[in-house]
Amino acid sequence: MAPDATGDAGPTGNRWLILGCAILVQLSIGSVYAWSVFAKALQSKEAFGWSKTEAAIPFSVVIGMIFVGSFVGGRIQDARGPRTVAMVGGIIYSIGVILASFARTDSSLWLLALGYGVIGGFGLGMVYIVPIAMLQKWFPDRPGLITGIAVAGFGFGAVITAPVGQALIDQTPSVPTKAFLWLGIAYLVALLVGTSVFRNPPAGYGAVASPSTATRDATADEPVASADFTANEALHTRQWYLLTGILTMSVTAGISLIAVAAGTATDVAGYSKTAAATLVGLLAVFNGGGRILWGWLSDLIGKMPAFLGILGIQGVCLLLIPHASNAVLFAVLAALVYTCYGGGFGTMPSTAGTFFGVKNVGAIYGLMLIGWSIGGIVGPILIASLIGDQKAYTLGFTVIGIITLVSLLLPIVTKAPSPRARVAETAARA
């Protein structure tokens, strides 16, 4: 087994240093949420003059490839350790972004989609899953809070990249893709530095989760965390599908607003285009902060109560948003949706660890991220088709809101698997 798989071939590492580097890594790959800055530049007549659909293709490909990368990365990480997977993924991601910088004509959409989308998205997925699985092993005493902090870096990534990317674009506005060269180099340096300290704790690592944390969602006599399911065993439980459904619905709800936030702010609440753009930038802070907040709350109140809050608040806010003509009220409702959207990503990794054990959580949660891809495609398409050219915001948000509220049934019926379920499943397939 590779040295970074156990940590016992070298220094065990400082878990707070590892957390800090994990945040640096997530900030680097979270830059994907700043795509709207590049999309706007690519549509400019001064640049390539692409349509909205053409400019959206690289981002759509990235979201789709994240699942593929996280699935592969999760499987390899459980066998080879976090440092190897994260470094390789970081190099692939950076190469993809750098390659995108050579898409310098209006006929090079394919190269941008290949570099930024396919290659970059695959590497992004490999890197994304690593800190989530690794940190639960270093912080079994506070898994929800710590994974929430780690993935918050992903949510905050756009806050940094958006202004930097815009400044780079302004240097050569006729070829905005040149910005990717410098960004790709910066990502490579940050990712190599951050991932260099990644490792799993050594055998017998002493941090112990409190009994209440380990058993809060249990339905059996034994603590749930004591049962380490393999990915295949998890796939043979109904809980994996229920959790994936919860993540899918949370993503669908939140990204439906994210996809049309600027236009909705202008048409419903009377924001100017400049004010709407500013609001969208500020909402990214709530996306990141929600990952910490809900991750922490899930450790206190339990995983399923947290998801009831995440889905319920989103559902109610989506119903109210098309009627929020007051600018302040609109901002508050939108901020709540963004907070809960981020909260789903902050809470689900530790939920997977609680339900199935942390040993193979990289592969198990990596598979769950198919919900991100499904929601990321269905949500924007559905809300756009419902609103249409007639700007039927009430219809669009009411339908999404009702669907979200109906999905509250999922966390209500989801109970953690008994450790004995793993034994029974293994025996049945022996």
pLDDT in tens, 64-113: 888 899 888 888 887 788 999 999 999 999 999 999 999 999 899 999 99
Q: At which of 166, 195, 224 does a domain end?
A: 195
Are 254 and 401 part of one and the same domain?
yes
The percentage of residues in the chain with a pLDDT greater than 90, rounded to a whole number, is 46
Residues 237 and 318 in one domain: yes
Q: For residue 224, what is the domain's CATH number?
A: 1.20.1250.20
Tell me the range of 1-10, 14-23, 85-94, 282-291 where mean pLDDT is highest: 85-94
The highest-confidence range among 49-63, 350-364, 397-411, by mean pLDDT, is 397-411
Last residue of a domain, one of 195, 223, 255: 195
Is residue 100 domain-resident? yes
Least confident range from 60-74, 111-125, 214-228: namely: 214-228
| 284 and 175 housed in the same domain | no
Q: Are residues 185 and 234 in the same domain?
A: no
User: 191 and 62 in one domain?
Assistant: yes
Average pLDDT, the chain: 85
Do 119 and 241 sit in the same domain of this protein? no
CB proximity list for 271: less than 8 A, separation 6 or greater: 265, 279, 327, 330
207, part of any domain:
no
Tokens coding 273:
């285009």
CB 130 within 8 A of CB 85: yes
Same domain, 149 and 217: no
- pLDDT above 70 coverage of the chain, percent: 89
Band (420; pLDDT cuts 50, 70, 90): low
Q: Does 370 map to a domain?
A: yes
d(CA 146, CA 350): 9
Which is nearest to 345 in space by CA: 195, 216, 243?
Answer: 243
Is there a domain that residue 5 lies in?
A: no
Question: 374-392, pLDDT tens digit by residue?
Answer: 888 888 888 888 988 788 9
Residues 137 and 39 both lie in one domain: yes
Per-range mean pLDDT, top range of 72-81, 166-175, 285-294, 407-416 = 407-416
Query: CA-to-CA distance for 25 and 124, rounded, in angstroms?
Result: 10
Question: Cα–Cα distances in Å, from 218 out to 209, 243, 329, 360, 416?
Answer: 14, 15, 39, 19, 5
Q: 117 phi and psi, to 5 degrees?
A: -80, -65
Q: Would you state the pLDDT for residue 126?
A: 93
Same domain, 185 and 229: no
171 lies in a domain? yes
Distances (CA, A) of 66 to 101, 177, 367: 20, 21, 11
Q: Which domain holds residue 42?
A: 10-195
- The Cα 197–Cα 410 span in angstroms is 38
Do 224 and 372 have their domain in common? Answer: yes
Listed residue (143, 141, 136, 144) closest to 201, CA to CA: 136
Token duo for residue 16:
């707070």
Q: How confident is the model at residue 11, as a pLDDT? A: 42
Does residue 221 or residue 117 have the better pLDDT? Answer: 117
Q: Is residue 205 part of a domain?
A: no
User: What is the CA angle 106-159-61, rounded to 5?
Assistant: 40
Instruction: Say yes or no: 238 and 137 in one domain.
Output: no
What is the token pair recorded at 294?
A: 């809900």
CB 228 within 8 A of CB 356: yes
Q: What angle do CA 279, 253, 386 make, to 5 degrees?
A: 90
What pLDDT, in 10s, does the model give residues 325-354?
999 999 999 999 999 999 999 899 889 988
Is residue 32 domain-shared with residue 172, that is, in the same domain?
Answer: yes
Number of domains within the chain: 2
In a domain, 284, yes or no: yes
Is 4 inside a domain boundary? no
